[in-house]
C-alpha cells in the first residue's frame, strides 16, 4: 500500500491541499504587488516550477483550482520561496513584506 497525500519534499501529510500551480500563481501576484523586476519574477517562477519535478502518488485535488493534485506542503513551498529570495539578495524588509502574505506567514515566524 502506498502512502498518499504526502509532500514530495518533507514527506509529511499535506494539510492544506493547494497545488504548486496555485502557490506559484499567488507568488507571482505578490512579486508583482511588490514591484519586483519581471525578469527576476520569471527567474523565481522557473525555480519554483522545478520544485516538484518528481512524480507523486497523491490523489487529493487542489481546493482552489480543483484541477491539479497536491504535491508539496505549505511549509516546504514557503521555505523554498524564502530561500530563493534570500539567495537573490532580496532585503530582509522585502522578504518580510513578502512573507506577510498568509501563505508564507507561518514559515517566516518559525524561521526567526
Establish if 11 belongs to a structural domain: no
pTM: 0.77
Cell numbers that stand for 79 in this block: 521555505
Establish if 4 belongs to a structural domain: no
Establish if 44 belongs to a structural domain: yes
CA distance 94 to 45: 17
Establish if 86 belongs to a structural domain: yes
Establish if 6 belongs to a structural domain: no
The residue range of the domain holding 41 is 20-111
Establish if 72 belongs to a structural domain: yes
The per-residue pLDDT for range 11-23, each reduced to its tens digit, is 888 888 898 889 9
**Could you tell me if 20 and 72 are in contact, meaning their C-beta atoms sit under 8 angstroms apart?**
yes
DSSP 8-state class, residue 24: H
The per-residue pLDDT for range 21-52, each reduced to its tens digit, is 899 998 998 888 888 899 999 999 999 988 77
CA-to-CA separations, 1 to 46, 57, 69, 83, in angstroms, rounded = 34, 11, 19, 34
SS3 61: strand
Establish if 42 belongs to a structural domain: yes
* Domains of the chain: total: 1
Establish if 36 belongs to a structural domain: yes
Amino acid at each position: 500500500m502506498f502512502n498518499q497525500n504526502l509532500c514530495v519534499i518533507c514527506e509529511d501529510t499535506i494539510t492544506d491541499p493547494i497545488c504548486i500551480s496555485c502557490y506559484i500563481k499567488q507568488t507571482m501576484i505578490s512579486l508583482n504587488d511588490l514591484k519586483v523586476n519581471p525578469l527576476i519574477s520569471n527567474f523565481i517562477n522557473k525555480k519554483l516550477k522545478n520544485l516538484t519535478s518528481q512524480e507523486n502518488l497523491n490523489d487529493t485535488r487542489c481546493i482552489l483550482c480543483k484541477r491539479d493534485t497536491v504535491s508539496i506542503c505549505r511549509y516546504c513551498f514557503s521555505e523554498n520561496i524564502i530561500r530563493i529570495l534570500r539567495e537573490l539578495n532580496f532585503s530582509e524588509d522585502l522578504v518580510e513584506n513578502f512573507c506577510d502574505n498568509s501563505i508564507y506567514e507561518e514559515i517566516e515566524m518559525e524561521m526567526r
